[in-house]
């Protein structure tokens, strides 16, 4: 197949688009792969759509190969199933909602657990129809508060979502593993550098949820790894809980004047200055910091909450949000302080927090605050702190929460060593759902004994349009995109470099021969200068660039590898087979070698 650039619907841009801050976004717009239609909503131009469809094909092949069956649901969905599952409300503002002409409520599907559950309920009535795996490649909608990085986090995007249906937990584990294996094959074929991380600790032993993260400094997900092989999204990291401490030797709590110590640093300084400890100085880790936030529940209710954690750590909002999901975290405002006069800003302590206390605000503790540990913390009076306040003896809370930041060097929860941190782009997510949706929508089948049992489900997603951006993000240089062969829109970018008729004729002949050989050829037959053409070729990023130019007079054309930058002159007579070899990663004999043969 030969596509002529003179006819291609394409305009490349030299300047960086004003709204693009990451490389993939800049390059995909500059190279004419996508164009913004509205915030977080993009149109696919011919080159971009070719990449998208190649990725779809890889995903489809691997899903079919694992025995999953392709279906296709509407994107415009009725409210009722999402009401039954609770997600009509839980999704909050992330859901696009609309009404039809009869005033009935609809939504644009963000993901389709409910619809799949109902369809399987309609079709399968016996364990004999299970296990079952279904998938679709479909346009999804989420009204993201902060769409970013072009198609990396859009509001309309293409996802492959799959669902598995099993009669028992063993079956679910097998289905999960089969999807995990298929995902590994897919991401390997896409050429990703990725890591599989735990996304949530297992409720059934083992990991109930994992993410496939493409390694990338611009990724929105932070993950951790240990030398012993532990890997998890930072939101899924659990804090190793230290053993309880014997507090029998700890003196009674005593309140001290600590004027002008509204921060941990000022408090530690005053403590070391005025109340020094014999064996070692006080540090932030000896203080208990109480951070106030507001949870915005899906029904719109605002609930103030206090998080108590060692003073040397900050609250990680994403970890807190993961812990309190589906609630979202908002700031505790001056108005909130005004509504809670028992709170003394800068000196808030357990004395005012939790059930039965002055503020009544729900109080959640970091898991490190185990019974018996003694703390310096606010005394709920201006300029005063309490020392030797012992957890369990002097105060209690309403529960624990995983909200403290995870730091480089923290211990892995499984004892496999210190954690290191990195960032990634979430490309896939596999999840043992269990029976949540089947129960909400009453999906039961007869088991082998003739008993009705609730089906257990898995849910598995891949960001297909996101993959285009993620590949561009990890595979580019300062001159442009560098597509892996499996997803490139064309195999060969053939540049006609010169106006001489014999150059054009040689290029046309070579293009025709490559087309016959089954290669997809982009032929730059425009009347532009070689410089413009080379710049565009590097920007567009086909893996193999062939230059047919002045060398034709000497029977030579040049093959460039876009990724490595290697260039080799090959004999014009052998050019077609040399280019085919290059596109297969085989050695390409240089012209002089060819001549020697």
Binding positions for its own copies, rule: CB under 8 A? 7-11, 32, 35, 37-38, 41-46, 49, 52, 67, 69-78, 93-94, 96-98, 100-101, 106, 108, 115, 119, 122-124, 129, 132, 134, 139, 141, 143, 145, 155-156
Using the minimum distance from each CB to its own copies, give the nearer residue, 73 or 337.
73
Using the minimum distance from each CB to its own copies, give the nearer residue, 139 or 529.
139
Using the minimum distance from each CB to its own copies, give the nearer residue, 74 or 382.
74
R_g of the chain, CA atoms, integer Å? 30
Q: Kind of pairing, strands 399-400 and 362-365?
A: parallel
Minimum distance, C-beta of residue 63 to its own copies, in the bound complex (Å):
12
Using the minimum distance from each CB to its own copies, give the nearer residue, 364 or 496.
496
Using the minimum distance from each CB to its own copies, give the nearer residue, 3 or 258.
3
Helix (H, G, I), strand (E, B) or coil at 556: strand
Sole residue written with tokens 């902060």? 146
Using the minimum distance from each CB to its own copies, give the nearer residue, 94 or 396.
94
Helix (H, G, I), strand (E, B) or coil at 423: strand
Do the Cβ atoms of 376 and 320 come closer than 8 Å? no
Minimum distance, C-beta of residue 49 to its own copies, in the bound complex (Å):
5
Minimum distance, C-beta of residue 184 to its own copies, in the bound complex (Å):
23
Minimum distance, C-beta of residue 98 to its own copies, in the bound complex (Å):
4
Using the minimum distance from each CB to its own copies, give the nearer residue, 116 or 363.
116
Do the Cβ atoms of 424 and 215 come closer than 8 Å? yes
Q: At what angle do helices 46-65 and 169-189 cross, to 10 degrees?
A: 140
Do the Cβ atoms of 412 and 418 come closer than 8 Å? yes
Minimum distance, C-beta of residue 124 to its own copies, in the bound complex (Å):
7
Half-sphere exposure of 82 (CA within 13 A, CB side): 21
Q: From 328, 321, 316, select the one nearest 406 (Cα to Cα).
A: 316
Q: What are the Cα distances from residue 195, in Å, to 47, 181, 187, 233?
A: 28, 13, 10, 10
Minimum distance, C-beta of residue 77 to its own copies, in the bound complex (Å):
7
Q: Quote the CA–CA distance of 532 and 394 in Å, as a whole number.
A: 75
- In 398-423, which positions are buried (b, 16+ CB within 10 angstroms) versus exposed (e)? eebbbbbbbeeebebbeeeeebebbb
Q: How many CB atoms lie within 10 A of CB 270?
A: 19
Minimum distance, C-beta of residue 345 to its own copies, in the bound complex (Å):
31
Do the Cβ atoms of 27 and 34 come closer than 8 Å? no
Minimum distance, C-beta of residue 158 to its own copies, in the bound complex (Å):
9
User: What are the tokens at 593?
Assistant: 């070698």
Using the minimum distance from each CB to its own copies, give the nearer residue, 46 or 281.
46
Q: Quote the CA–CA distance of 390 and 430 in Å, as a whole number.
A: 42
Using the minimum distance from each CB to its own copies, give the nearer residue, 2 or 361.
2
Minimum distance, C-beta of residue 10 to its own copies, in the bound complex (Å):
7
Taking phi over 0 as left and psi of -120 to 50 as alpha, with beta for the rest, 141 belongs to: beta
Q: Quote the CA–CA distance of 191 and 482 in Å, as a whole number.
A: 12
Using the minimum distance from each CB to its own copies, give the nearer residue, 96 or 387.
96
Using the minimum distance from each CB to its own copies, give the nearer residue, 155 or 385.
155
Do the Cβ atoms of 320 and 333 come closer than 8 Å? no
Minimum distance, C-beta of residue 482 to its own copies, in the bound complex (Å):
23
Q: From 467, 447, 463, select the one nearest 455 (Cα to Cα).
A: 447
Count of all residues that appear for the chain in the document: 597
- Residue 131: asked if its preceding bond is cis (omega within 30°), the reply is yes
Minimum distance, C-beta of residue 298 to its own copies, in the bound complex (Å):
14
Q: Which residues contact 48 (CB under 8 A, 6 or more apart)?
A: 28, 32, 33, 34, 468, 489
Using the minimum distance from each CB to its own copies, give the nearer residue, 10 or 535.
10
Minimum distance, C-beta of residue 219 to its own copies, in the bound complex (Å):
24
């Amino acid at each position: 197949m030969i596509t002529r650039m003179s006819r291609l619907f394409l305009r490349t841009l030299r300047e960086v688009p004003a709204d693009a801050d990451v490389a993939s976004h800049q390059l995909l717009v500059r190279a004419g792969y996508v164009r913004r239609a509205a915030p977080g909503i993009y149109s696919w131009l011919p080159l971009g759509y070719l990449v998208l469809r190649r990725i779809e094909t890889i995903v489809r092949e691997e899903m079919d190969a694992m025995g999953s069956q392709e279906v296709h649901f509407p994107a415009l969905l009725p409210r009722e199933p999402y009401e039954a599952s609770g997600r009509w409300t839980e999704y909050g503002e992330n859901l696009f909602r609309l009404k039809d002409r009869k005033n009935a409520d609809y939504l644009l599907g963000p993901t389709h657990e409910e619809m799949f559950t109902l369809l399987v309920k309609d079709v399968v009535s016996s364990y004999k129809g299970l296990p079952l795996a279904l998938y679709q490649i479909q346009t999804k909608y989420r009204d993201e508060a902060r769409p970013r990085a072009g198609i990396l986090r859009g509001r309309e995007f293409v996802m492959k979502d799959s669902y598995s249906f099993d009669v028992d937990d063993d079956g679910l584990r097998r289905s999960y593993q089969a999807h995990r294996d298929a995902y590994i094959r897919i991401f390997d074929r896409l050429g990703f550098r990725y890591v599989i991380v735990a996304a949530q600790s297992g409720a059934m032993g083992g990991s109930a949820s994992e993410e496939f993260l493409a390694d990338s400094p611009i990724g929105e997900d932070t993950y951790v790894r240990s030398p012993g092989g532990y890997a998890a999204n930072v939101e899924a990291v659990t804090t190793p809980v230290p053993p309880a401490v014997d507090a029998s030797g700890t003196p009674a709590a005593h309140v001290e004047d600590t004027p002008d110590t509204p921060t941990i640093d000022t408090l530690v300084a005053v403590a070391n200055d005025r109340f020094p400890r014999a064996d070692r100085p006080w540090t932030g880790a000896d203080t208990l910091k109480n951070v106030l936030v507001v949870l915005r529940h899906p029904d719109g209710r605002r609930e103030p909450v206090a998080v108590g954690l060692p003073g040397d750590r900050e609250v990680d909002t994403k970890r807190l949000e993961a812990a309190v999901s589906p609630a979202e975290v908002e700031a505790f405002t001056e108005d909130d302080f005004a509504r809670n006069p028992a709170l003394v800003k800068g000196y808030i302590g357990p004395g005012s927090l939790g059930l039965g206390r002055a503020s009544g605000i729900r109080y959640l503790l970091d898991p490190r605050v185990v019974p018996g540990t003694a703390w310096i913390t606010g005394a709920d009076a201006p300029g005063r702190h309490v020392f030797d306040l012992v957890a369990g003896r002097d105060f209690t809370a309403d529960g624990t929460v995983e909200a403290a930041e995870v730091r480089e060097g923290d211990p892995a929860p499984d004892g496999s060593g210190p954690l290191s941190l990195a960032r990634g782009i979430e490309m896939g997510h596999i999840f043992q759902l269990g029976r949540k949706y089947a129960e909400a929508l009453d999906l039961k089948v007869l088991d082998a004994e003739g008993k009705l049992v609730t089906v257990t489900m898995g849910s598995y997603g891949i960001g297909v349009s996101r993959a285009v951006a993620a590949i561009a993000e990890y595979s580019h240089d300062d001159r442009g995109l560098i597509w892996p062969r499996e997803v490139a829109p064309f195999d060969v970018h053939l540049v006609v470099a010169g106006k001489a008729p014999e150059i054009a004729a040689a290029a046309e002949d070579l293009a025709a021969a490559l087309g016959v050989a089954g290669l997809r050829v982009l032929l730059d037959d425009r009347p532009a200068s070689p410089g413009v053409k080379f710049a565009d070729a590097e920007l567009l990023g086909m893996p193999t660039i062939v230059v047919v130019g002045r060398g034709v007079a000497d029977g030579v054309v040049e093959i460039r590898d876009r990724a490595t930058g290697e260039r080799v002159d090959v004999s014009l007579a052998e050019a077609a087979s040399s280019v085919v070899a290059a596109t297969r990663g085989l050695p390409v004999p240089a012209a002089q070698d060819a001549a020697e043969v």
